[in-house]
Amino acid sequence: MERFHLERILTRYGTTEVSGPLVAPPEKPLTRDSLGRLRSGYQVQLVDKNNVAVPIGDIGELVVRTDIPWATSAGHAKDPGATALAWRNGWLHTGDLMSCDVDGIYFFHDRNTDSMRRRGETISSSEVEEEVIAYPGFVDVACVAHPNDGGSDDEVKAWLILEPETQIDFADLLQFLVQRMPYFIVPRYFEVTDEFPRTPTLRVQKHQLRSRGNSSDTWDSEGAALAVNRFGLAVSGHLPEDESDSEPRSGHPA
C-alpha cells in the first residue's frame, strides 16, 4: 500500500470449485497475512485428517459447503474417485491448511500436499521458505519433503535460486537458520537450480521438485558432518550422550 500509494487492499480466498467463501470486507482494516472472514452464504470448518474440527488457533484443512444447493462445483469431470474424495462427508475439502483466530480471521499456512512431517511434527513448507529466503543472495526458495530412508518421517529439502554471481556457504546458511527456526524444521538438504517448474499461473509445481529427488549437486548437512539439534549446530558425533537429539518440543527455538 505504501509502495503504490494505495488507499485500500482487499483480500479474498476462493478455489476453482467454490467462489470466495472468505473475504476481507472494505470496512474492516487489513490484517497482515490474513485471508479475511467467513462470507455470508457459506459454512466452513478447519478439520484434522480424521475430519474432526480443530481448536481455535490450530492448523487444519479448510472444508466448505454453501447454504444454497449447487453454489459450488458438482465434482471433477470424468473422475468420480477424485469427486468422492474431495466432497466427502458433505463438505468440499479444499486441501488448504489454515488457522483461525478468536476474531474469526483466517490465515493460510500451506497446501495439504506440500506440508511435511518430520520428527513427529507437521511442517509448513511456506513457513520454512520465509526463513530460508531471508538469507542474502536468494531470488527464490521452494521447500519440499524428501523421503527418509531410515524412517517413516520426511526430511526437508530446500531448492534455491541464487542471484547472479552469488556463491553460497552452506554451513553458514545452516548456522543462520539454526538461529531463526525451531531445530526440527531446519532443512537437511539444499540444492541450487536455475528455475522452478511452474503452472501457467506461476505457482511452483512442487510435485516435480519432489520427484527429482537428490543428485550429486545436493548438499547434505549430515553428509557434511553437521548436526542440527535443540542445542544448535554441532559436528556430528561430537555431542555428549545426554545432549543427543530427542523428541521435539513444538515451537521451541534452536
Q: Say yes or no to pLDDT of 236 above 70.
A: no
Confidence class of residue 222 from pLDDT cuts 50, 70 and 90?
A: confident
pTM of the model: 0.65
Confidence class of residue 91 from pLDDT cuts 50, 70 and 90?
A: very high
Q: What's the confidence (pLDDT) of residue 70?
A: 84
Return d(Cα 109, Cα 124) in angstroms, integer.
Answer: 6
pLDDT cut 90: percent of the chain above it: 44
Return d(Cα 205, Cα 96) in angstroms, integer.
Answer: 15
C-alpha cell at 183: 531445530
Q: Which domains does the chain have, with CATH numbers?
A: 12-112 (2.30.38.10), 115-243 (3.30.300.30)
Q: Kindly report, residue by residue over 9-54, the tens digit of the pLDDT.
A: 888 898 888 888 999 877 777 777 788 899 999 999 999 989 999 9
Q: Kindly report, residue by residue over 151-180, the tens digit of the pLDDT.
A: 667 889 999 999 998 999 999 999 999 999
Angle of helix 125-132 versus helix 170-178 axis, rounded to 10: 120
Q: Which helix (H) or strand (E) covers residue 32, if one does?
A: none
Q: What's the confidence (pLDDT) of residue 137?
A: 94
115 and 123 in contact (C-beta within 8 Å)?
yes
Dihedral over Cα of 200, 201, 207, 211: its sign: positive
Which residue type occupies 168?
Answer: I
Across-strand partners of 53? 47
Q: Which helix (H) or strand (E) covers residue 82, if one does?
A: helix 80-86
Calculate Rg over the CA atoms of the chain.
Answer: 21
Which residue type occupies 100?
Answer: C
